[in-house]
A and B are shown apart, each in its own frame.
Chain A
Amino acid sequence: MDMETLYRGIREGRRRAVARGLSWIDEGQARGNDLVGRLFPHAGNAHVIGITGAPGVGKSTLVNALTLQLRRNHQSVGILAVDPSSPFTGGAILGDRIRMQDSVDDGGVYMRSLASRGHVGGLSRATFGAMTLLDAAGFDVVLIETVGAGQAEVDVMRFAQTVLVVLAPGLGDDIQAIKAGILEIGNIFVVNKGDREGSDRTIRSLRSMLGLAHPQAWVPPIIKTSADRGEGVEELAQAIAGHRTYLVEHAIWGQMREHQAENLLEQALQDIAADIAKDRRLQDTWQKSVSQIREGQPAPHFARELMAQWLKATAEGE
């Protein structure tokens, strides 16, 4: 498929085009970046919701239940679920789809598994572009399930308008051990496996900790769910809608676009830096720089030198 066909297919929300476009973005080449650039102006309408929390708390099961609920409310749903890649082989087993079978069986839902590919922070490098694509394809809601690593998945708050932090009782995730970071990024807290012993205690300690952490206008609600039976999920969908209203009324919703545009620029800069680092035309300068840095010369000087040479070589090449 060429860029034009792909672009039009995505804008019409065609499944095949959406799937192929996501592959372009995932492979991290220029054509994927170009595609994101073309789609970005058409994004900004979807409500992007991040779902994060320790491994096994029930994030995928919750995404499934929430998707069914959103469908009942006549909203179309795009889902991205990130699982870790092996740092040794680069391979990955992407298993989140197992728990989402009930909800993905529906034309109004599209689900895609992504591997983290060495990216830290709970998402993959391609997640932002992928989210932009689903947004531009017209999905009303985009759900992003992060890698279940525990504490460091703060990346998601840079992209998502609403972040759900999911906890469960009795997973050894003693509330005391939950790092402040994850408490600060949550706009809504979900205590899942509400059918399990100890969920009320988890809610109580969470409430007392949140009292300290959140001095601002939005007080994050705590919702108890049993995702595998769909209990509490209607209430969760209401809390999510409430957060959206809050963002819009406080003019925060529009600011997110600013952050997203900024992110696009940052990512483009990083891509250029990566291009420079592996540009064969600059190999000699690279080698010389490395040996001089070893002798104690300042690295930034050589970075600027490389960049200048790259700009020149690229301008000449065009």
Chain B
Amino acid sequence: MNRMIRVLVAKPGLDGHDRGAKVIARALRDAGMEVIYTGLHQTPEQIVDAALSEDVDVLAISILSGAHPTLVPRIMELLRGNELEDMLVLLGGIIPEEDVPAMMDAGVRQVFGPGTDTQDIVEYIRQNKGMQ
């Protein structure tokens, strides 16, 4: 038995549906990963506590509400505060092109826009986790 890839799929903020997050969760499961899904309306504190407690390799954040400019830096700050700066953080949902550089500056490693093939996310995780 070797180390499985563990991923936390997180939905911070107020947006009211999580179809996209669930599609990702299932795709990652079907790719042989262990996916922790914690439901809607998570605060940055809850997300980082879950990432810490579950000792995940990857944090996949999905935001549709447009609140990423405040939520993402806050999550990254809390990760650093918990010595989790090595975690592979991915962002998906609706992120306007012009916001992507700021997200990457904040510490997000890759942004996946709407219509991304879930297989691309699987591949990205396989290639990049453990390379921190």
**Interface set of A (CB-CB < 8 Å, partner B):** 15-16, 19-20, 22-23, 26-29, 85-86, 89-95, 97-98, 101, 104-105, 110-113, 115, 117, 125
Task: For A91, list chain B residues within 8 Å (CB).
Answer: 28-35
A22 to B53, alpha carbons, bound, how many Å?
A: 9
B83 contacts the other chain (Cβ, under 8 Å)?
Answer: yes
Decide if A86 touches B52 in the complex (CB within 8 Å): no
Decide if A94 touches B49 in the complex (CB within 8 Å): no
Decide if B49 touches A101 in the complex (CB within 8 Å): no
B76 contacts the other chain (Cβ, under 8 Å)?
Answer: no
List 10 interface pairs A-B (beta carbons < 8 Å), by A numbering.
A16-B82, A16-B83, A26-B4, A29-B1, A89-B30, A91-B32, A94-B35, A98-B37, A98-B38, A112-B54
Interface centre among B26, B36, B83, by most A CB within 10 Å?
B36
Distance in Å: Cβ of B83 to nearest Cβ of chain A: 7
A-B contact count (CB 8 A): 80
B25 contacts the other chain (Cβ, under 8 Å)?
Answer: yes
Q: Find the B residue at minimum CB distance from A105.
A: B46
A27 to B1, alpha carbons, bound, how many Å?
A: 6
Which of A20, A93, A111 contacts B29, CB < 8 Å?
Answer: A93
Task: For B36, list chain A residues within 8 Å (CB).
Answer: 94, 97, 113
Number of residues of chain B lying within 8 A (CB) of chain A: 29
Task: For B3, list chain A residues within 8 Å (CB).
Answer: 23, 27
Give the dominant DSSP class at A's interface. Answer: mixed
Task: For A15, list chain B residues within 8 Å (CB).
Answer: 52-53
Q: Find the A residue at minimum CB distance from B31.
A: A91
A275 to B42, alpha carbons, bound, how many Å?
A: 43
A97 to B9, alpha carbons, bound, how many Å?
A: 12
Which of A22, A29, A98 contacts B55, CB < 8 Å?
Answer: A22
A97 to B47, alpha carbons, bound, how many Å?
A: 11
**Interface set of B (CB-CB < 8 Å, partner A):** 1-4, 25-26, 28-39, 42, 45-46, 49-50, 52-55, 82-83
Q: Find the A residue at minimum CB distance from B50.
A: A97
Q: Find the B residue at minimum CB distance from A95.
A: B37
Decide if A110 touches B37 in the complex (CB within 8 Å): no
A115 to B29, alpha carbons, bound, how many Å?
A: 11
Decide if B32 touches A101 in the complex (CB within 8 Å): no
Distance in Å: Cβ of A144 to nearest Cβ of chain B: 16
Decide if A89 touches B53 in the complex (CB within 8 Å): no
Decide if B37 touches A111 in the complex (CB within 8 Å): no
Decide if A93 touches B4 in the complex (CB within 8 Å): no
- Whether A104 contacts B29 in the complex (CB less than 8 A), given A27-B2, A93-B35, comes out as no
Task: For A98, list chain B residues within 8 Å (CB).
Answer: 37-39
Q: Find the B residue at minimum CB distance from A28.
A: B1
A27 to B6, alpha carbons, bound, how many Å?
A: 11
Distance in Å: Cβ of B84 to nearest Cβ of chain A: 9
Task: For B30, list chain A residues within 8 Å (CB).
Answer: 86, 89, 91
- Whether A16 contacts B52 in the complex (CB less than 8 A), given A27-B2, A92-B29, comes out as yes
In the complex, the 3 A-B pairs of residues with the closest C-beta atoms, listed nearest first: A28-B1, A91-B29, A98-B39
Distance in Å: Cβ of A85 to nearest Cβ of chain B: 8
Task: For A29, list chain B residues within 8 Å (CB).
Answer: 1
Which of B53, B55, B82, B83 contacts A111, CB < 8 Å?
Answer: B53
Task: For B26, list chain A residues within 8 Å (CB).
Answer: 93
A95 to B33, alpha carbons, bound, how many Å?
A: 14
A27 to B39, alpha carbons, bound, how many Å?
A: 26
Decide if A115 touches B50 in the complex (CB within 8 Å): no
Q: Find the B residue at minimum CB distance from A20.
A: B55
A145 to B101, alpha carbons, bound, how many Å?
A: 43
A91 to B37, alpha carbons, bound, how many Å?
A: 13
- Whether A104 contacts B37 in the complex (CB less than 8 A), given A27-B2, A89-B30, A117-B1, comes out as no
A15 to B83, alpha carbons, bound, how many Å?
A: 12
Task: For A86, list chain B residues within 8 Å (CB).
Answer: 29-30
Distance in Å: Cβ of B37 to nearest Cβ of chain A: 5
Q: Find the A residue at minimum CB distance from B43.
A: A105
A93 to B39, alpha carbons, bound, how many Å?
A: 12
Task: For B28, list chain A residues within 8 Å (CB).
Answer: 91
